[in-house]
Every structure is written in C-alpha cells, then in structure tokens.
Structure 1
Amino acid sequence: MSELNTPGANAPLSDWLQYLGDLHTSAIDLGLDRVAHVAKHGNLTKPAKTVITVAGTNGKGSTCAIIEAILLNAGYSVGVYSSPHLIRYNERVRINGQELDDERHTEAFAAIEALRGETSLSFFEYGTLAALWLFINNQVDVVVLEVGLGGRLDATNVVDHDVSVITSLAIDHVDWLGDDIEVIGFEKAGIFRSGKPAVCGQPEPPASVAAHADDIDAKLHQVGYQFDYSVHGDTWHWQCGAFDLCDLPVPNLPLANAATALMALGLSELDVSDENIVDGLRNVKLAGRMEKVSDAPLILMDVAHNPHSAAYLAGKLATLKEENNAKVHAVVAMLHDKDIAATIAQMSPVVDVWYPASLHGPRAADWHQIAAYLPAGVQGYESPVDAFIAARESLGWEGNILIVFGSFHTVGEVADHLAKEE
C-alpha cells in the first residue's frame, strides 16, 4: 500500500479509479469491520433522514429506480447508489435523478482517503463510503442503497437504514454465497433491522428469511401475505390489507419489483400520493433493462445474466416475437462464474439466431464456452461489439428483433459503441 501514489484532489477520475482498484488485495472482500470503522469515524452511517436498502438476486436496480421515480415526483431530494455501472463510474451515484461530475467524485474519494488512515478498503467499500459522503454533503431527504453482493456482509450494511428490502432470491454468486438457497436467504436477510420494517418480494422464499426476521423482531411484509398484486388487462392492482391501488400503469420494468417498491414506500412513512405513484410508474426508466435502442428494427438490451432474470427476459421476448411475427437474434456474452447452461436454456425457446461473444478479464467466458450450449456450427465473435455489428447487419427485414444480453459488461460495451456512433 505504501508503494501506491495517492492521487491529488484535482487528479482525473480515471487516476482515482485505478488507485482504488490497486489499493486492496481483493476486489471483493466481504466483511464489515474495516468499512464500518471508517464509516463511523466519518459519521457516514446515517446519510439521510430516511434510508431504504435493497438486496436481492435480481431486480435491485429496478426496485431502486421505481422508488426513486415516485419520490422525485413527490418532491423529495433523493440519492441513489447502485452498481455495477454500464459505461461510466458516474452512473453509480444519482442525486435527484442526475449523475455527478467527475470532480464531485474525486472530491469524495479525497475525503474518504483522509478518513481511512491506514485502513485498507476494497474498490466497492471505497465507492460506497464516497457515495454516503456525497449524499450527506448534498443534504438529500432520502437515500436508496442497492446492495452489492449478498447483504449481511456487504459494505452498504454499515448504514443505519429504516426499511430493508429483498427483491428476489435465487442461486447466484456461488463462489461467494454458496449454492444453498437457505444460506443465501439468511445472507440477504442480514440487512434486516430489529424493530424496523422489512419487505420480501420473493414468493415463497426460503424459511431462513422469516426465521431471521423473527429472531431479531424485524417487521416482515411478505408478498402473497401482507401485500399482493395482480394484472388486469393493461393495468394492475396493488393491495396491502384493506388498502388498494387500482388501475395502475404498467411500468417498463418487472411488476414484481414495482409491487415490492410500493410496499417499501408504504412502510417508509414518506408523504407519497396516488398521483405520485402513477406518474412515477409511468415515467421510470433504467438503462440496460429492456432498454430500447431502436424501433425499426427493434433492438433491445438487457443485463439478464442468470437463469432467473433470463426467464423473465424470455417471457417478454416471446410476447414481442408473437406480436411482430418476428425472428429473435441474440448477442450473448457472459462471465464464466455464472450458470451459462441454465441461462441459455431459458432463452433458447425464443431465440432463432445466436451470436455468442467473448468477454475479457479474469471472470470472462470465452465464446466457445457459451457455444457449447448452442446449436452446432454457430459462429462466435471476439467481443460483444463485433457480435452486435454482425447481428445488426444480418437482421434482414425491420420486423425482426435483436436482443443483447448476458452481463453488465456485455450491455455496457455495446452501449458505449452506440454512444460513439451518435
């Protein structure tokens, strides 16, 4: 650590990000001792009057975005911390729906550098503390935190939050969380707080979730029990006990996450009207989640990267395929520590033409690893961008559909390419 040159406060953001990446021995280092020490030293554990923390295998980003959109419509000042980013690090912190300039991030990193002393921090821990510092210095009313990995030992769990949310539960991040769904449930329920409300949007979750809530006297609200939702044509209905919201607009994000977000908001005691909810649902957007790149041909991008999220994506594509009488072309690139076989199996019934691509880096899968689960003779590509260019040229008539999926890295590389084309 002593050999590293600490960037100055006026150094480019790229220098700081390189420094953060080299500072610690591991990019992922679960545990709270180090990050909690710095957070308490800097009075960063309560970054706003109201804090909502969101964990889950899938749907965290969507749930955070829906909460953010509704609260902004209600007039609150809102800070959101999410990860990973698609193109720019700046995407990880939003204040009132906007990314911050590089200079604000470097200012925050310099502040954390002064606070940490000799305490070593991972890249994610450093970024989390910097986000908390930014929220405090911008005096936001509400902070929405997306858990990075797991929950109990994630850096975001040093925060004194008011509402805890689990969006979904499935087996993922096996190297870190294992393949026992009960253990995964316990790890994610580790964000629950004694005496405070908690929400679980996963139907019939592992018993460990409710058991942990009982053990610490968290006030658990479970979908299918304390709250529920149903679709009625082009609208949907949400209810909690005797309270009903009818004829809600269907957002361009999973309804399960919208229902979970509404329960979290209801428990937050924030002043939100029915009109705020309707407008927020109608206007919410999130990059990389069924994101439309073009209409003719229809090109979409989605960060689905495990069987659970791929199943949702496949369902959406099946509907679009039928409506447009189209063929679906798919660019896919994944990380090797994901369940490639099961993810491809979920997508295969709706995909007609495959374009597997290689990612690059220590966790990257080569396109041959993906092609092993595809029809024989499929051509592979050295990057998602190469695959995307080939797929776009091969689409044929404008009624066909192109989907780019498999990883944040996959969508990020293609999104960056498209931004440079403009």
Structure 2
Amino acid sequence: MSGKTLEEWLSFIESQHPNNIELGLDRCSLVLEKLNIKRPKGKILTVAGTNGKGSTCAMLTDYLLHDEFTVGTFTSPHFLKFNERIAINGKPVSDSLICDAFSVIDRIRSDIELTYFEFNTLAAFYIFDQAKLDHWVLEVGLGGRLDSVNMIDADVAVVTSIALDHIDWLGDSLDQIAIEKSGIARPNALLVSGVVNPPDTIQSNALKIGAILKQKGEHFFFDANSKHWSWKSDSLSFSNLILPHLPIENAATVIAVLVFAGFVPTQEKLSSMFNRVTLIGRFQTVNDSPHVIIDVAHNPEAAAELAKRITMLGVQPIAVCGMLEDKDFHSVINILSNSFSSWHFADLRAPRGAKSLLLAECCGRGICYNSVSEAFAAAEQEAIEKHVPVIVFGSFHTVADYLDVYS
C-alpha cells in the first residue's frame, strides 16, 4: 500500500471499518503491541472532558515547549488539514511522516479492523515514538475509558468538564459520563479534575482505580476580576496573573496539572504562556473590519461560556450558526437566544448537519441559507451597516466551512 498520498490514505482508512465510531480498546491495543511503541522520556498527559480539552492541551503544550521540553500533541478534529491533529513541538507533522505511519500500521494490523480515529491515534503514537520526545499531550476523542487514546497508560490524567453530550455512547447521566471520562486515570497516578460541581462518581471512580485525585474547589481554587486572576492550593499560590485568551476555568486546571505533576511553574512562565496561547475557533477574532469572531461552541455548557463572553463585548453581535442534528441545538439556541441581534442559519456540508430551517424554527426567528459562506456574506453586510460584530459558531464544521472560504 506504499506510495499513496495523504488524501489517498485517508480515503483508504475511512473505508476499512463499517462504523465511524466503535468504542473499545481490544482491537487497537493488539496493533499497538505489535508496533512495539516505547513511552516518552517524561510523561504522557491525557486530557478528557466535554469542553475545554483543546484549550487545555494547547496551554500544556505551550508551557512545556517554553520550559525547553520536546512535546508531541495529538488533538481532534482538524479544521483545514488532517496534519493539524498530530503536532511535534507545536507544528503539524508532514504528509510523509503520516503516510509512513499509516503504511506501517496497515502492514502490521493484518486483518484487524480499525476505525478512522484508531488509525489516527496509532499513527500519532508511532510518530511520537520515532521522534523520541520528552512528553506526549493527548486529547481524548470521545468519552475516555473506551476511547483509543486510553490504550496507552497516562502518567497524568485530566478531566476538564462534565456535561451531557454523546449520550448514546456515554450514558444519559452526569454520573455515568463522569465514570467514562475519569476512566483514563491509572493506579497510583495523578488525576486532575477541573470539573465545576463534580459528580460524586469522579471521586468514587478515582478511589476504585486507585488514582491520586486533585479536584477544583477542593484541592485548588481560583478567583478572577476584570484585570487579573489568582490561583492557590494548600502548598502554592499565584496572584496577579495575566488573564488568558482561553477560558480561565481551563487555565486554572492547567496550573493544577503543572503543580501537582511536579513541573514547578513560576509566575513569570505562567503569565507568559497565558499571554501567548490562542486556539483556532475558541472565541477567536479573525477579522477586525467588520469584527468577526469564530467559536466552536456546540453544546449547552459551551454555549453558556459563549454567552458570558458576548456580554463582555458590550454590544449585541450577529449570529451565523450551523449545527449537527445529533447535538442539543434546542438548548444551545435557547441559551444564546437573547445574545444576538439577529440570526443567520446555515446548512452544513457534514453528513449529520442539521437543516437551517430546523434551527430557525427552534429559534423562532432568523434567515436560512444553503451554506455557511452564504450566511456569512449576508451577516457581514448587516454588520458593516450596524457596526457590530459577527460571531460564526455552532460546530467545528461551521468554523471549518468559514475558514475554508475566508481564511
């Protein structure tokens, strides 16, 4: 199968399993064993959660890089290029590295069926192993306990947040979802929970596993005002920290990871990191005139965070919204219904994309379009006339469709 381009490999691996998702570790663990992958010199940091995984991974990666470590980072999904998922020292790896990894995995797996995401995960592990890095930062794709990222033991497990999402796969209660996500923890290894009002099952599951649990609101705390913020634990505190570009809840969790994992962060290093790190699609300004913001908020918890950020704008922006039909779009739209002066709904190119008409009916107002680009063009003209921002949100697909045309 050698000689394929990356696009050909991606088409090939998409066709190798009848389901896009099949949770479970047995099949991919067999392939992992055959690959004989060695652990990094330092730590494997695995991050799960309903929201905040990408922000947490970005901040951890940046801090470690500027602390003069080498770092491999695995995230998903990507926006424009598959290579975004697998990065070494903050930069996406080349097509050739990914193709070589796919070739090795395909040869070794024999007749073992792997999903698209399992191929991705194994390729990241293989590439990181070949690069002989200090640390790996791994983002869980779905859930935690049965996600393919969890086939390799974490030295530090992180749960960023818990909310109802993917209930067909993870369960229909916060207690059950917390069990699934905290299932990335290991005996005698650190589990950092950044969950606000955590379900009791995080603590009970950590006790069952034998993990060393550190929880927000119990073992570490933070406080913020409009200019600075502070963080403290029983043994250490930081005050007058620079407000991060990314959500402060995740920033507080990142400090906890660094402190409890023994990285000894300093005030100067933390403030520098918070001042540097941004992330595609996390309340990201991509244009100034008119002011355009993109955000991947696609569930109620993320919508509530977006609503808080909108209030800080001091003006009602215009919405360009596209969502997937299996998301709780009713709650998302309800939470944000009074945040926008007008709504422009778009059909998405994704297979599970909700029709714009359905979203508009849910909202009770708004104009429908066949694509994100059409919706944005109308919203942009309105924004110019009214001198207000446009916010493009609702899904990774929505943001990707915008970037595909306007980046």
In 1, are the aligned partners of 2:185 and 2:211 still within 8 Å (CA)?
yes
1:75: how far off? 0.9
**Structure 2 counterpart of 1:74, which letter?**
D
Q: Distance in 2 between matches of 1:76 and 1:275?
A: 17
In 2, are the aligned partners of 1:47 and 1:132 still within 8 Å (CA)?
no
User: Which residue is equivalent to 2:55?
Assistant: 62
Partner SS, residue 125 of structure 1: helix
Partner of residue 409 from structure 1, selected from 390, 393, 397: 397
In 2, are the aligned partners of 1:335 and 1:364 still within 8 Å (CA)?
yes
Q: How many residues align?
A: 407
1:267: how far off? 2.4
Partner of residue 349 from structure 2, selected from 354, 360, 368: 360
Is 1:345 the equivalent of 2:343?
A: no
Q: Distance in 2 between matches of 1:294 and 1:331?
A: 15
Is 1:107 the equivalent of 2:96?
A: no
Partner of residue 82 from structure 1, selected from 50, 75, 83: 75
Partner SS, residue 400 of structure 2: helix
User: Which residue is equivalent to 2:9?
Assistant: 16
Deviations 1:40-94 (A, max 9, x none): 2212362453110000000000000011111111111111100011111011011
User: Which residue is equivalent to 2:377?
Assistant: 389
In 1, are the aligned partners of 2:334 and 2:363 still within 8 Å (CA)?
no
1:284: how far off? 0.5
In 1, are the aligned partners of 2:241 and 2:267 still within 8 Å (CA)?
no
Partner SS, residue 312 of structure 2: helix
Deviations 1:122-172 (A, max 9, x none): 000010000011111111111100000000000000112100000000000
Partner SS, residue 165 of structure 1: strand
User: Which residue is equivalent to 2:317?
Assistant: 328
In 2, are the aligned partners of 1:301 and 1:403 still within 8 Å (CA)?
yes
User: Which residue is equivalent to 1:292?
Assistant: 285
User: Which residue is equivalent to 2:299?
Assistant: 306
Change (3 A) 1:272 1:76: farther
Q: Distance in 2 between matches of 1:40 and 1:143?
A: 18
Partner of residue 176 from structure 2, selected from 180, 183, 186: 183
Gapped regions of structure 1 (runs ≥ 5): 1-6
User: Which residue is equivalent to 2:268?
Assistant: 275
Q: Distance in 2 between matches of 1:43 and 1:49?
A: 18
1:271: how far off? 5.2
Q: Select between 360-369 and 378-387 the one with higher mean Cα deviation.
A: 360-369
Q: Distance in 2 between matches of 1:108 and 1:274?
A: 39
User: Which residue is equivalent to 2:388?
Assistant: 400
Partner of residue 46 from structure 2, selected from 50, 53, 60: 53
Partner SS, residue 417 of structure 1: helix
Q: Distance in 1 between matches of 2:279 and 2:25?
A: 30
Is 1:230 the equivalent of 2:219?
A: no
Partner SS, residue 241 of structure 2: strand
Partner SS, residue 83 of structure 1: coil
Partner SS, residue 380 of structure 1: strand
1:362: how far off? 3.1
**Structure 2 counterpart of 1:123, which letter?**
Y
User: Which residue is equivalent to 2:406?
Assistant: 418
> What are the residue-to-residue correspondences of 1:211-230 with 2, within 5 Å?
211-230=204-223
Q: Distance in 2 between matches of 1:270 and 1:239?
A: 16
Q: Distance in 2 between matches of 1:361 and 1:274?
A: 43
Partner SS, residue 29 of structure 1: coil
In 2, are the aligned partners of 1:49 and 1:141 still within 8 Å (CA)?
yes
In 1, are the aligned partners of 2:57 and 2:139 still within 8 Å (CA)?
yes
1:270: how far off? 3.0
Gapped regions of structure 2 (runs ≥ 5): none
In 2, are the aligned partners of 1:69 and 1:281 still within 8 Å (CA)?
no
In 1, are the aligned partners of 2:35 and 2:108 still within 8 Å (CA)?
yes
In 1, are the aligned partners of 2:170 and 2:177 still within 8 Å (CA)?
yes
What is the TM-score when the length of structure 2 is the normalising length?
0.97
Deviations 1:243-286 (A, max 9, x none): 10111111111001011111111222235433222211110111
User: Which residue is equivalent to 1:240?
Assistant: 233
Q: Distance in 2 between matches of 1:238 and 1:185?
A: 25
What is the TM-score when the length of structure 1 is the normalising length?
0.94
Q: Distance in 2 between matches of 1:86 and 1:417?
A: 12
Q: Distance in 1 between matches of 2:144 and 2:341?
A: 38
Q: Distance in 1 between matches of 2:155 and 2:62?
A: 19
Cα root mean square deviation, aligned: 1.3
Partner of residue 117 from structure 1, selected from 110, 117, 124: 110
Q: Distance in 1 between matches of 2:226 and 2:71?
A: 32
